[in-house]
Amino acid sequence: MFLCWLLFGAATWAEPSWHFAVPDNAGIYGEFYLELKTRLPSSERVRLVELDQQPQALPPAALWLAVGPQALRRIWQEQPKATVISLLNTRDTVENLRASLKASGPFTAIYHDPEPRRQMRLAKAVLPKLRSLGLLVRPGRSAETMPLQTLAQNLGLRLVVREIAGSADLVPKLVDVLERSDALLALPDPGIINRQTLKTILLTAYRHERVLIGSSEAMVAAGSLASTHSTAAQTAEHLAGWLEEIPRTSAPKLPNPEYTRAFTLSYNNQVAHSLSLVAPDLRTLETLLLEAERAPSIGVSAP
């Protein structure tokens, strides 16, 4: 494979250059590239840069579209003042990389993890009798849950938040949360929920007859009740809308970071059956969640 410089249209190299950076052009990265390519008008030109075929220094760009953590890290390591849109990265990943690499250039993102307030509305919709919801966070991050506290009040929920200082702290704090809440909401924080801890969290929740609202499609497959997630096509659609509005200049003005607006629901029918829960109609529920985001003062009732 050789380094590909592909264009979404005929080239006019006098224009400020926009580069689409991926670790390689396979898997979800290749899928995302193709999804974006089909959504951009022929007048939009974006160069594809496969980083595994780019051992030398990265070329300059007016705008980098950084797809995945490897691309984001490479760009900020070599060009900390570059103008960047982060894609297919969680908010936690983006914030950690930006701080650790001291990146200072213009930046925005379409976060790949599910929007936390969307997840809370989902919890209320699939568990209509829900009155309290547990959260586990890392030390010093309780203040970040304030937007969720506000939404919880609007939904008639009590939020139970506990900080996890380390692995030895996990089970005692988890049990405390489960005993004080009706369900557990998993935020996409690898410091709390990861491959090493997920099984313990699921089994402990199951013993306490509590459900876990996951933070990914994979987590639902592993045993959580439900989650939202955004596909490569949905993120590409969001990005294409942005690129149509961003001016093609040497210093483009970027929109504020957002979570992917469109999403898909995952639901574990086996978990629902074991807890005698009635499975919702997922398409109807997706519509209700979207309507709630457009009018955030309203709640969501199970369809």
Q: Name the average pLDDT for the chain.
A: 90
Please report the pLDDT score of residue 299 as a whole number.
Answer: 52
For the entire predicted model, the pTM comes to: 0.88
**Among 65, 83, 62, 104, CA closest to 250:** 62
Minimum mean pLDDT among 42-51, 70-79, 155-164: which range? 42-51
Q: In DSSP terms, which residues pair with 64 in a beta bridge? A: 19, 84
Domain 18-112+231-259 has CATH 1.10.1060: no
**Segment 251-263 mean pLDDT:** 95
Please report the pLDDT score of residue 236 as a whole number.
Answer: 97
Q: Is the pLDDT of residue 71 over 80?
A: yes
- Fold held by 116-225+268-294: Rossmann fold (3.40.50)
Q: What token pair was written down for 43?
A: 């007048």
What whole-number distance in Å separates Cα of residue 25 and Cα of residue 223?
31
Residues 40 and 241: beta-carbon distance below 8 Å: no
Residue 64: alpha-carbon gap to chain centroid? 19
Q: Pairing between strand 258-259 and 183-185?
A: unpaired
Q: Domain spans of the chain? A: 18-112+231-259, 116-225+268-294
Q: CATH topology of 18-112+231-259 equal to that of 116-225+268-294?
A: yes
Cα Rg for the chain, rounded, in angstroms?
21
- pLDDT band (50, 70, 90) for residue 104: very high
pLDDT in tens, 130-163: 999 999 999 888 878 888 999 999 999 999 999 9
Distance (Å) of CA 180 to CA 100, 124, 146, 231, 265? 36, 17, 19, 34, 27
**Segment 188-203 mean pLDDT:** 92
